């Protein structure tokens, strides 16, 4: 559940911080094996992620889609499901955005963007919602289903961009038709970061309020905490699972929309860069708390942003940033078993 | 594997606890408690819910670290840091819930906990050792039976055998008899007493049943509010002494009188209900039943005869295979709005796992029935956490739930207080139909009387009550009509006036 009390929140912070430190230590050993001073590498990581306005902007740009894909795992997880379909939902959302967007050139930009956002999130929502329905009505394991659906989504997009919606004028890279230039969104005032960041932050905040302050959120916490208690309370479990899956999928679908309308302008393989998988990591790090996702996504965005710089500067293998992310993921999963172990957090003033 | 001396000739451990104090934050769960568990005695630990009994034995077993005080085993002071350590000292504990692996055989379960188990098991050799071990025990089980086919009493025996096989000679039993019939309890406790009399083991038993203390224990220690409230040899103490030590000068509430019911509509009806169990077998076969307003129908039976599945079907935790459930003549779909409109409330067995959310607070758990209605909501869909807490605080007070406060997690409550919490939630609102299974499991004397009174008062107020209980005394005390459930069938029915204990007992034991 959420750290509903101060102590629980503190426990999560301490445990995650410990996981982070252990990860850095492990990563330090890794780079030392390549003959580098770990401290130099950490410094470059910091430089690339947070030291300058430019690097901060870079980090924030990276984190924007991550906030949204993390929701795809976090919201269903609150109802007790392990969904790992963010990658597929993002692709589906992106494709839907293009399919709708190319017809909207005649509309004022705000209306066009709104409709594309709806298209992306509804497509993503239905995509993950389908996995929820398979689970509730057909007993299909949602984790396996969403994993396979990632491949299906990517295959569908590849098929579409290599034929039915291919823009043959683009010769460098197989890609789809582009949405009208008038519907592309710009950057947030004052920062060189596209609007996806604002959308991501706002979505996380809204979902935080929904999960924390509404009766729906409370019911989901009961369901996620103990499905038998939810049954006994007569809660509409199927509906709640479907809604959570839809919301999660809509988040990732919206990430797809933002990638199209703020970055690429068309669908292509560049939608498939692992935002969905990084989102799983972020959801776990944030313990499925939408507000915490914002912060964690920025942290992980920083790793992505500085990864390239680090690899180039130290001539490390291309996968180095991925190794760091992977280590972090393993550490966080392992640290989940530490909750409740330390008695200092059980003490509660009355 | 080296063979363990199944029962060495050394005397069993002699354990002394000196001035043990254990705090949970501001709460003092144990306050300078000293007990001597003498080698080879059967020692009973008594006390009301939340008195600190489980805490004391968990400190002994190394699950908790005491804040102050010493543990000495055979005269040597020990810092028991974890259960494994306790185990090396010969201390073992049997829990209230079973820890066996149901899909495995008796033999496999016995071997499972062995330390230094080699990765390849020589089964032939092992079975010989186990067979020899069984022969040395006063009670035996067929090594090849699957645990899922054992009755509750047999499982409890296996838990004890497992501890003995692992070499524990100081056995702690936390409310071991709550899952057993009185006969099974008598048998197992008798055997434990025999083993202590032969000086083969020491036993510490936590219980709420004075009868068991008087019949089987040599010595008794009573805790109250975390302090030592009395100690002595059972032979020196009278029943009244024990009660006084347990509850001080409090009075046990008198049983509520049964009034004549006025309205007599049928409110709950089950028609030809068939329910399966987890293994796909039929657990409830063709059960039909009507319960009227102002009536308590008691379903008696030995555990494992389909009661759990019946309650699950009524509570929405399991789909029936066929048949219907009607509430006030309408087909019951187990939805939240029906539960609210018809005032249906429910207490299943094992409430912590069946109807609570461990990670949530006491107040949140108390709100599970009402969280989506004013006053805990505003603007239709927003939850008012202040009101949830106030509602929790109110019920904690009215039902005297012992907790550190409404924000404490429910899993920090003592066993009896979890039961109280769920009872408070289910009995507090508008109760028209009440389905309760073993409502007094793990409750202390006073709480038992109080809860039975509340059930009787609900009945007198016109509620329709289905009481499923493995405690025949409870059924005889409360029910207007008694039905015996055996192997999924309702095999016998009698009214309260004509009820004959022996006849009921015969039907509980077998089809006639
Ligand atoms: N892990 C914990 N955290 C906080 N408080 C606890 C914890 N465990 C027990 N307590 C508190 O300590 C007190 C004693 O609990 P304990 O479980 O020892 O009672 P008990 O005598 O076994 O009662 P019961 O008969 O109901 O099982 C209770 O008030 C309980 O709420
Ligand atoms: Mg207890």
Q: In CATH, what number is assigned to the domain containing residue B234?
A: 3.40.50.300
Pairing of strands B91-94, B266-276: unpaired
Residue of B nearest to A223 (CA): B357
The residue among B242, B225, B224 whose CA lies nearest residue B233 is B242
* CB-neighbour burial class of residue B76 (10 A; exposed 0-12, middle 13-18, buried 19+): exposed
Q: Which of A233, A234, A348 sits opposite B404 (nearest CB)?
A: A348
Residues of A in contact with B368 (CB under 8 A): 222, 229, 233
- Whether pLDDT at B448 is above 70: yes
Does B435 lie at the interface with A, CB-CB under 8 angstroms?
no
How remote is the CA of residue B58 from the centroid of ligand 2, in Å? Answer: 10
Contact B26 A218 (CB under 8 A): no
Given B189, B215, B247, which residue is the final one in a domain? B247
d(CA B344, CA B364): 20
User: According to the model, what pLDDT value does residue A174 have?
Assistant: 83
- Same domain membership, residue B331 and residue B455: yes
Residue of A nearest to B405 (CA): A350
d(CA A40, CA A37): 5
Phi, psi of A175 (to 5 degrees): -150, 170
- To which residue do tokens 């409709």 refer? A115
- To which residue do tokens 């302050």 refer? A213
User: According to the model, what pLDDT value does residue A350 have?
Assistant: 31
> How would residue B447 be classed by pLDDT, with cut points 50, 70 and 90?
confident
Contact A1 B360 (CB under 8 A): yes
Query: Is position B134 within any domain?
Result: no
d(CA B266, CA A29): 74
d(CA B311, CA A232): 10
- Same domain membership, residue B480 and residue B390: no
- Whether pLDDT at A108 is above 70: yes
Query: Is position B1 within any domain?
Result: no
- To which residue do tokens 């609210």 refer? B340
User: According to the model, what pLDDT value does residue A233 have?
Assistant: 94
Instruction: Tally the domains of chain A.
Output: 2
Mean pLDDT of chain A: 88
For B51-103, what is each residue's pLDDT tens digit?
A: 999 999 999 999 999 999 999 999 889 888 888 889 889 999 987 667 788 78
Instruction: Ligand 1, residue B402: give the atom nearest the CA.
Output: 29
- Same domain membership, residue B410 and residue B297: no
How remote is the CA of residue B55 from the centroid of ligand 1, in Å? Answer: 6
The residue among B153, B159, B218, B155 whose CA lies nearest residue B188 is B153
How remote is the CA of residue B318 from the centroid of ligand 2, in Å? Answer: 29
Does B494 lie at the interface with A, CB-CB under 8 angstroms?
no
Supply the range of the domain harboring residue B421. 356-429
N-term to C-term CA, chain A = 21
Given B400, B429, B458, which residue is the final one in a domain? B429
Phi, psi of B137 (to 5 degrees): -95, 150
- Same domain membership, residue B509 and residue B489: yes
d(CA A1, CA B259): 46
d(CA A199, CA A230): 33
Residue B469 C-alpha from the chain's centroid: 12
Supply the range of the domain harboring residue A21. 1-36+316-350
How remote is the CA of residue A150 from the centroid of ligand 2, in Å? Answer: 48
d(CA A25, CA A5): 30
- Same domain membership, residue B504 and residue B377: no
- Whether pLDDT at B5 is above 50: no
Does B28 lie at the interface with A, CB-CB under 8 angstroms?
no
Q: What is the dihedral of CA B128, B133, B138, B144, to 10 degrees?
A: -50
> How would residue B3 be classed by pLDDT, with cut points 50, 70 and 90?
very low
Contact B316 A234 (CB under 8 A): yes
Instruction: Tally the domains of chain B.
Output: 3
- Whether pLDDT at A2 is above 50: no
> How many percent of chain A have pLDDT more than 70?
94
Contact B405 A226 (CB under 8 A): no
- Same domain membership, residue B176 and residue B91: yes
> How many percent of chain B have pLDDT more than 70?
95
Report the 10 Å Cβ neighbour count for B431.
21
* Three-state secondary structure readout of B321-368: CEEEEEECCEECCCCHHHHHHCCEEEECCCHHHHCCCCCCEHHHHHCC
- Which helix (H) or strand (E) is A68 found in, with range? helix A53-78
- Whether pLDDT at B1 is above 50: no
- Same domain membership, residue B242 and residue B257: no
Query: Is position B512 within any domain?
Result: yes
- Whether pLDDT at B115 is above 70: no
In chain A, count of helices (H) and strands (E)?
13, 2
DSSP code, position B498: T
Higher pLDDT, A176 or B362: B362
How remote is the CA of residue A108 from the centroid of ligand 2, in Å? Answer: 68
Residues of A in contact with B391 (CB under 8 A): none
- Whether pLDDT at A282 is above 70: yes
Of A11-15, A324-328, B237-241, least confident by mean pLDDT is A11-15
**DSSP3 helix / strand / coil % (chain A, rounded to 5):** 75, 5, 20
Query: Is position A302 within any domain?
Result: no
- To which residue do tokens 């009215």 refer? B398
d(CA B91, CA B363): 37
**DSSP3 helix / strand / coil % (chain B, rounded to 5):** 35, 25, 40
Query: Is B338:B332 a contact under the CB 8 Å cutoff?
Result: yes
N-term to C-term CA, chain B = 49
- Same domain membership, residue B280 and residue B402: no
User: According to the model, what pLDDT value does residue A323 have?
Assistant: 84
- Same domain membership, residue A206 and residue A118: yes
Q: What is the mean pLDDT of residues B431-452?
A: 89
Q: Which of B24, B316, B361 sits opposite A232 (nearest CB)?
A: B316
Chain A nearest C-alpha distance from B162 (Å): 27
Beta-carbon contacts of B332 under 8 Å, excluding residues fewer than 6 positions away, are B325, B326, B338, B342
User: According to the model, what pLDDT value does residue A342 have?
Assistant: 63
Query: Is position B149 within any domain?
Result: no
* Interface test with chain A among B409, B418, B426, B436, by most A beta carbons within 10 Å: B409
- Which helix (H) or strand (E) is B490 found in, with range? strand B489-495
Contact A232 B412 (CB under 8 A): no
User: According to the model, what pLDDT value does residue A201 have?
Assistant: 96
* CB-neighbour burial class of residue B437 (10 A; exposed 0-12, middle 13-18, buried 19+): buried
Residue B152 C-alpha from the chain's centroid: 12
- Same domain membership, residue A115 and residue A18: no
Does a cis peptide bond (omega within 30 degrees of 0) precede residue B375?
A: yes
d(CA A199, CA A207): 12
User: According to the model, what pLDDT value does residue A4 have?
Assistant: 41
- Chain A interface residues (partner B, CB cutoff 8 A): 1, 4-5, 213-219, 221-222, 225-226, 228-229, 231-236, 343, 346-350
Does B386 lie at the interface with A, CB-CB under 8 angstroms?
no
Query: Is position B73 within any domain?
Result: yes
Query: Is position B128 within any domain?
Result: no
DSSP code, position B256: P
Beta strands in chain A, from DSSP E residues, in sequence order = 175-178, 266-268
Q: Which of A1, A216, A349 sits opposite B25 (nearest CB)?
A: A349
- Which helix (H) or strand (E) is B477 found in, with range? helix B472-478
- Whether pLDDT at B4 is above 50: no
Report the 10 Å Cβ neighbour count for B191.
16
Q: What is the mean pLDDT of residues B444-450?
A: 87
Q: What is the mean pLDDT of residues B395-423?
A: 92
The residue among B76, B82, B38 whose CA lies nearest residue B63 is B82
User: According to the model, what pLDDT value does residue A314 have?
Assistant: 82
Contact A225 B382 (CB under 8 A): no
Residue in B54, B210, B351, B416 to alter for ligand 1 test, most ligand atoms within 8 A of Cβ: B54
Q: What is the mean pLDDT of residues B275-294?
A: 89
Residues lining ligand 1, judged by CB closer than 6 Å? A 346; B 24, 27, 29, 47, 49-55, 402-403, 412-417, 442
- Same domain membership, residue B498 and residue B370: no
Atom 9 (ligand 1) nearest CA:
B412
Give the residues across from B299 on adjacent strands.
B468, B483
Structure tokens at B169: 């000679």
Query: Is position B107 within any domain?
Result: no
């Amino acid at each position: 559940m959420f750290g509903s009390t101060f102590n629980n929140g503190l426990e999560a912070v301490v445990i995650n911080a410990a996981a982070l430190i252990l990860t850095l230590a492990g990563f330090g050993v890794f780079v030392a094996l390549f003959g580098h001073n770990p401290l130099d590498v950490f410094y470059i990581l910091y430089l690339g992620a947070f030291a300058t306005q430019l690097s901060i902007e870079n980090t924030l740009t990276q984190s924007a889609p991550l906030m949204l894909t993390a929701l795809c795992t976090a919201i269903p997880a609150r109802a007790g499901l392990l969904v790992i379909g963010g990658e597929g939902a993002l692709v589906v959302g992106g494709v839907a955005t293009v399919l709708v967007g190319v017809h909207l050139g005649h509309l004022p930009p705000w209306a066009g963007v709104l409709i594309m956002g709806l298209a992306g999130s509804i497509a993503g929502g239905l995509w993950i919602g389908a996995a929820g329905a398979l689970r509730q009505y057909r007993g299909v394991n949602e984790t396996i289903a969403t994993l396979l659906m990632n491949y299906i989504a990517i295959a569908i997009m590849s098929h579409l961009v290599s034929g039915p919606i291919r823009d043959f004028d683009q010769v460098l890279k197989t890609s789809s038709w582009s949405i009208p230039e008038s519907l592309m969104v710009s950057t947030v005032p004052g920062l060189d970061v596209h609007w996806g960041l604002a959308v991501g932050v706002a979505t996380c905040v809204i979902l935080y309020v929904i999960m924390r302050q509404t009766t729906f959120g409370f019911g989901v916490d009961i369901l996620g905490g103990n499905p038998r208690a939810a049954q006994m309370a007569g809660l509409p479990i199927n509906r709640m699972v479907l809604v959570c899956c839809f919301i999660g999928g809509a988040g990732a679908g919206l990430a797809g929309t933002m990638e199209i309308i703020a970055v690429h302008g068309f669908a292509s393989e560049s939608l498939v860069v692992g935002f969905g998988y990084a989102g799983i990591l972020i959801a776990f790090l944030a313990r499925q708390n939408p507000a915490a996702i914002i912060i964690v996504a920025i942290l992980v965005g920083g790793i992505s942003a500085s990864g390239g710089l680090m690899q180039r500067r130290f001539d490390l293998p291309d996968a180095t940033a991925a190794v760091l992310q992977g280590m972090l993921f393993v550490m966080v999963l392992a640290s989940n078993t530490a909750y409740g172990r330390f008695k200092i957090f059980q003490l509660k003033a009355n | 594997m080296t063979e363990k001396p199944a029962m060495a000739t050394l005397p069993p451990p002699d354990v002394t606890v000196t001035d043990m104090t254990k705090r949970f934050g501001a709460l003092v769960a144990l306050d300078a408690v000293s007990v001597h568990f003498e080698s080879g005695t059967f020692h009973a630990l008594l006390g009301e819910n939340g008195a600190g009994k489980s805490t004391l034995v968990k400190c002994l077993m190394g699950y908790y670290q005491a804040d102050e005080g010493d543990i000495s085993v055979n005269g040597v002071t020990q810092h028991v840091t974890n259960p494994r350590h306790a185990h090396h000292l010969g201390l073992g504990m049997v829990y209230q819930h079973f820890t066996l692996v149901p899909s495995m055989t008796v033999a496999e379960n016995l071997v499972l906990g062995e330390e230094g188990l080699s990765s390849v098991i020589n089964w032939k050799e092992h079975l010989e050792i186990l067979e020899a071990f069984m022969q040395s025990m006063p009670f035996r089980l067929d090594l090849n039976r699957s645990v899922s086919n054992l009755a509750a009493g047999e499982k409890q025996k296996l838990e004890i055998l497992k501890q003995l096989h692992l070499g524990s000679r100081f056995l702690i039993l936390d409310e071991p008899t709550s899952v057993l019939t009185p006969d099974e309890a008598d048998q197992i406790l008798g055997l434990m007493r025999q083993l202590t009399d032969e000086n083969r083991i020491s036993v510490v038993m936590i219980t709420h049943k004075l009868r068991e203390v008087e019949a089987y224990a040599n010595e008794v220690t009573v805790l109250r509010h975390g302090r030592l409230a009395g100690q002595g040899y059972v032979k020196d103490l009278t029943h009244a002494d024990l009660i006084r030590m347990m509850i001080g000068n409090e009075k046990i509430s008198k049983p509520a009188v049964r009034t004549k019911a006025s309205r007599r509509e049928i409110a709950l009806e089950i028609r030809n209900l068939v329910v399966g169990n987890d293994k796909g077998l039929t657990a409830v076969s063709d059960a039909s039943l009507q319960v009227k307003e102002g009536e308590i129908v008691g379903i008696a039976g030995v555990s494992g005869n389909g009661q759990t599945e019946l309650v699950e079907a009524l509570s929405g935790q399991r789909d029936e295979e066929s048949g219907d459930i009607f509430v006030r003549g309408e087909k019951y779909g187990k939805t939240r709005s029906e539960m609210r409109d018809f005032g249906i409330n429910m207490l299943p067995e094992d409430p912590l796992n069946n109807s609570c959310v461990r990670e949530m607070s006491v107040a949140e758990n108390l709100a599970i029935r009402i969280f989506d209605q004013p006053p805990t909501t505003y603007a239709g869909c927003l939850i008012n956490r202040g009101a949830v807490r106030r509602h929790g605080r109110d019920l904690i007070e009215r039902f005297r739930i012992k907790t550190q406060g409404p924000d404490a997690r429910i899993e920090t409550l003592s066993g009896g207080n979890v039961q109280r919490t769920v009872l408070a939630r289910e009995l507090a609102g508008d109760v028209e139909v009440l389905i309760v299974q073993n409502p007094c499991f793990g409750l202390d004397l006073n709480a038992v009387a109080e809860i039975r009174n509340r059930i009787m008062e609900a009945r007198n107020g016109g509620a329709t009550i289905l009481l499923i209980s493995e405690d025949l005394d409870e059924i005889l005390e409360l029910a207007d009509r008694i039905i015996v459930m055996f192997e999924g069938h309702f095999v016998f029915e009698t009214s309260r006036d004509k009820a004959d204990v022996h006849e009921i007992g015969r039907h509980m034991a077998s089809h006639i």
